[in-house]
């Protein structure tokens, strides 16, 4: 059985991953729609910028977050002055770091599924009295549900494994920001920490397998639903 410290890291990882996924989901759907369905100046640039987390090392993302959302960053100062929020050294900050690193994965999955939806169905909905927003919610969204779900699973998995951006942005505080990968890293740094590291590896893999199997099961159900299987 896991020790209290391990349980703490496990629960923290789950909390960070869940909030990172749920928090980025609406934005990912909105931006995916924008990229899939509209053309505007800077379209390619926006797409490129959103994919940066996929190609630069997470540590760099963490550094940029520190510079932008830290106490002395423009975003961080705004949050502190207007809302009284500081992200540094908090699990919310860890969730944001995870969300940004995982964002391109979620975005790609959702965008592709939106591109796969027949726009003519949306037109049909419009002629039947549905406003654009209503057509999106009642026609497009149910049809892209499998893609949205796939994006959520990918992003959840990426969040569970997030290390570099998290440790750089919010450091590694037990119980607050020390998620499983960070705990694993700390254990591996100590001479003789192998046993501890191995236990954490087993926990991580178990968690990943449960998440994967659970998501496969859910995905099958979602597919049935949106493809109109009885």
Partner 1 sequence: MRIPRWPVACLTLLGLVSVPAPFTQGGPAAGPVDGQEILVFAAASTGTALQEVANAYAAVGGGRVRFSLAATSALARQIESGAPADLFLSANTAWMDRIDEAELLAAGSRTLLFRNRLVLVAPSDTDTGPVAVDISLDLEAMLVDGRLAVADPVSVPAGIYARQALESLGMWDRLQARVAPASDVRHATLLVRRHEAPLGIVYWTDARDTADIRVLGTFSPELHDPIAYWVAQLADAPAPAAASAFLAFLQSDAARAIFSRHGFAPPLDADTR
Partner 2 sequence: MIDVAFTHRQGSFSLDVNMQVPDSGVTGLFGTSGAGKSTVADAIAGLIRPDAGRIAIGETVLFDSARGVAVAPERRRIGYVFQEARLFPHMNVQANLHFGGRRRGAASPDTFEQVVGLLGLEPLLDRRTRHLSGGEAQRVAIGRALLSGPDLLIMDEPLSSLDQQRRDDVLPHLERLAADTGVPTVYITHSIEEIIRLADHLAVMANGTVLACGPIQDVMARPDLPVLTDRRDAGTILLTTVAGHFDDDHLSALRFGEHTLLVPRTDRAEGAPLALRILARDVSLALEPPQRSSVMNVLPGTVTGIHPRGDGHVDVSIDSGQIIRARITRRSADDLSLKVGLELYALVKSVAFAERDAFRRHAAGEE
**Which contiguous run of DSSP H or E holds residue 46?**
helix 43-55
Q: Strands, DSSP E only, in 27-151?
A: none
For the purposes of burial, counting CB atoms within 10 Å of the CB of 141, is it exposed (0-12), middle (13-18) or buried (19 or more)?
Answer: middle
Cβ(101)–Cβ(21) below 8 Å: no
Dihedral pair phi/psi, residue 190, rounded to 5°: -90, 130
Closer residue to partner 1 in complex, CB, 101/139: 101
Can you give the length of the chain in residues?
230
Instruction: Report what 39 binds from partner 1, partner 2, none; CB cut-off 5-8 Å by kind.
Output: none
Here's the x/- map for partner 2, 164-203, by CB under 8 A: it reads as ----------------------------------------
Cβ neighbours of residue 168 under 8 Å, at least 6 residues apart? 58, 59, 61, 62, 63, 65, 66, 97
Using the rule CB under 8 A, give the single segment among 5-13, 127-135, 168-176, 183-191 that binds partner 2: 127-135
Which residue, 97, 90, 95, 87, is CA-closest to 23? 95
CB 184 within 8 Å of CB 161: no
Q: Which does 48 bind (CB under 5 to 8 A by kind): partner 2, partner 1, none?
A: partner 1
125 binds, among partner 2, partner 1, none (CB under 5 to 8 A by kind): partner 2
Q: How far is the CB of 176 from partner 1 (least distance, A)?
A: 9
189 binds, among partner 2, partner 1, none (CB under 5 to 8 A by kind): partner 1
Residue 186 site contact among partner 2, partner 1, none (CB < 5 to 8 Å, cut-off depends on kind):
partner 1
- Residues from 150 through 209 that contact partner 1 (CB under 8 A): 167-168, 171-174, 178, 185-193
Between 55 and 133, CB nearer to partner 2: 133
Q: Considering only residues 23-52, where is the footprint of partner 1 by CB under 8 A?
A: 47-48, 51
Q: How many helices (H) and strands (E) does the chain have?
A: 11, 0
The reply on whether position 226 binds partner 2 by CB under 8 A is yes
């Amino acid at each position: 059985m896991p020790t209290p410290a391990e349980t703490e890291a496990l629960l923290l990882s789950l909390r960070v991953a869940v909030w990172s996924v749920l928090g980025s989901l609406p934005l990912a759907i909105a931006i995916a729609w924008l990229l899939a369905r509209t053309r505007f100046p800077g379209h390619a640039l926006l797409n490129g910028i959103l994919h940066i987390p996929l190609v630069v090392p997470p540590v760099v993302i963490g550094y940029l977050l520190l510079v932008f959302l830290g106490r002395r960053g423009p975003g961080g100062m705004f949050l502190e002055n207007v809302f009284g929020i500081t992200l540094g050294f908090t699990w919310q900050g860890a969730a944001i770091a995870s969300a940004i690193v995982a964002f391109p994965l979620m975005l790609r999955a959702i965008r592709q599924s939106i591109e796969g939806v027949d726009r003519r169905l949306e037109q049909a909905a419009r002629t039947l009295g549905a406003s654009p927003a209503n057509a999106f919610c009642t026609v497009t969204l149910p049809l892209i549900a499998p893609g949205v779900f796939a994006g959520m699973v990918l992003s959840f998995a990426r969040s569970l494994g997030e290390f570099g951006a998290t440790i750089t942005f919010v450091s590694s505080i037990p119980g607050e920001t020390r998620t499983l990968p960070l705990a694993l890293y700390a254990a591996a740094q100590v001479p003789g920490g192998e046993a501890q590291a191995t236990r954490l590896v087993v926990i991580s893999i178990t968690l990943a397998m449960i998440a994967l199997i659970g998501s496969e099961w859910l995905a099958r159900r979602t597919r049935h639903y949106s493809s109109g299987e009885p």
